[in-house]
């Protein structure tokens, strides 16, 4: 495809998004004003689905295990790549949209709708994956479910953009296993017959201390953090049940698996020391580390800097995201876009306010345009997509 033709299609993308920008900002605000935690995002998912269906997308809401998930697609009926966009829309308990998922979901569907308008000229397909519960929690990290059921296997590339304090590229993240440890003992009166009791709380404390000691003997990438969720009901009753939740993180899935195995061995030891029995439960999908594809990121960088954003290349990976699961299957980008001051930290009140601010609204539109332009590059330049895949295979 010649340069003038590609430029004409880019103009079409930009015009499509700007023509609808008030609608997209309104959608982002509505989702922000009605925060829903993971797997309960009925309002948010319906807002995004409605916009997609109005633009000719076929939407499948029968995604295993997640009632608020969806997969939407629009086809040109001509051969070409299948480009995927990731939509997140869950909020944090108590904090609301303090991670800006109202922006993420809306930007992805805005980009996909714009790409859908040019598919008759480019060929190929565009797919939106509506992925609940990115923040985790019970049955959380739905992208892991999409991978498990092969719902991303058809994609040639996948992308999203995340709000932050400055605009930057994708970064490595940590794999994580969120696990519950339950201990089962035997209740007794703590004063009159303590010898008849088996203290489940003691087992949790031994587990906690054991994991704390383990921190001395791990590599720098490992993170172990947890809380005690249940430790008994009254001081004069020997607790017959106690529960703790830990997030076990490491740089790769393989290292995380080994860490989780060590943690379970400590739980076994805690049970043996106290006489309790134990159960370890993965409360959600395991989250994989994010696999960065620099050639792919560079395309987005070119587009977002052309829109006037200052782009930082030195972002370090922090925390975890289930976009990592997607990145292990298909080349994926997860860049960041500035929505406030550089010191802005996610999961805070200040970040929540920034996600509904004029700068947040501007980032939504810029992010959508850059995502759409990136998708167009992949649709119209087969050699570029080939280069991305070749690099991805060597990572």
Check residue 318 and give its pLDDT. 66
Check residue 313 and give its pLDDT. 80
The answer, as to whether pTM is greater than 0.85, is yes
Domain 175-282: assigned CATH number: 3.30.70.360
Measure the CA angle with vertex 338, ends 381 and 52; round to 5°.
Answer: 55
Check residue 315 and give its pLDDT. 65
Alpha helices in the chain (DSSP H): 3-19, 21-33, 42-54, 101-122, 142-148, 200-214, 253-274, 294-306, 323-327, 349-354, 358-380, 382-394
Class of residue 326 by CB neighbours under 10 A (exposed 0-12, middle 13-18, buried 19+)? buried
Check residue 319 and give its pLDDT. 86
Domain 9-172+289-393: assigned CATH number: 3.40.630.10
In the numeric block, the tokens 């001509």 are attached to 78
Check residue 317 and give its pLDDT. 59
Q: Domain-by-domain residue ranges, the chain? A: 9-172+289-393, 175-282
The CA–CA distances, whole Å, from 178 to 64, 115, 151, 252, 259 equal 20, 36, 23, 15, 12
CA 49 from centre of chain: 19
Q: Is 9-172+289-393's fold the same as 175-282's?
A: no
Check residue 1 and give its pLDDT. 46
Check residue 316 and give its pLDDT. 67
Averages of pLDDT over runs of 10 residues in the chain (395 residues) are 68 97 98 98 98 98 96 96 98 98 98 97 98 94 97 98 96 96 97 96 98 96 96 97 97 97 98 98 96 97 97 77 98 98 96 98 98 98 98 96
């Amino acid at each position: 495809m010649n340069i003038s033709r590609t430029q004409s299609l880019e103009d079409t993308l930009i015009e499509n998004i700007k023509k609808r920008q008030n609608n997209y900002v309104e959608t982002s605000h509505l989702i922000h004003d009605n925060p829903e935690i993971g797997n309960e995002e009925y309002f948010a998912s319906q807002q995004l689905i409605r916009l997609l269906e109005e633009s000719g997308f076929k939407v499948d809401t029968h995604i295993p295990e997640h009632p608020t998930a969806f997969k939407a697609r629009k086809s040109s009926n001509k051969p070409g790549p299948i480009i995927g966009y990731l939509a997140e829309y869950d909020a944090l308990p108590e904090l609301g949209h303090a991670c800006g998922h109202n922006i993420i979901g809306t930007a992805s569907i805005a980009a996909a709708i714009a790409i859908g308008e040019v598919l008759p000229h480019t060929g190929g397909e565009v797919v939106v994956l509506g992925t609940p519960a990115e923040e985790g929690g019970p049955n959380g990290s739905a992208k892991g479910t999409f991978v498990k059921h092969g719902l991303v296997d058809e994609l040639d590339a996948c992308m999203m953009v995340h709000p932050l304090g400055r605009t930057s590229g994708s970064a490595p993240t940590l794999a994580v296993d969120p696990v519950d440890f339950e201990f089962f003992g035997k209740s007794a009166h703590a004063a009159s017959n303590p010898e008849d009791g088996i203290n489940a709380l003691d087992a949790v404390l031994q587990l906690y201390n054991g994991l704390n000691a383990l921190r001395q003997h791990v590599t720098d990438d490992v993170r172990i953090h947890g809380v005690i969720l249940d430790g008994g009901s009254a001081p004069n009753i020997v607790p017959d049940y106690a529960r703790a939740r830990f997030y076990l993180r490491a740089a790769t899935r393989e290292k995380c698996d080994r860490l989780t195995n060590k943690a379970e061995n400590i739980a076994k030891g805690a049970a043996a020391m106290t006489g309790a029995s134990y159960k370890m439960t993965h409360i959600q999908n395991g989250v994989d580390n994010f696999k960065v594809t620099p050639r792919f990121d560079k395309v987005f960088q070119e587009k977002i800097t052309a829109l006037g954003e200052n782009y930082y290349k030195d972002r370090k990976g922090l925390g975890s995201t289930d976009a990592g699961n997607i990145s292990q299957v298909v080349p994926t980008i997860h860049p960041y876009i500035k929505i406030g001051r550089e010191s802005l930290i996610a999961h805070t009140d200040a970040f929540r306010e920034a996600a509904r601010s004029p700068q947040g609204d501007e980032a939504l539109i810029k992010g959508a345009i850059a995502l759409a332009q990136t998708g167009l590059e992949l649709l119209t330049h087969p050699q570029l997509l080939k280069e991305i895949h070749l690099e991805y295979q060597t990572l």
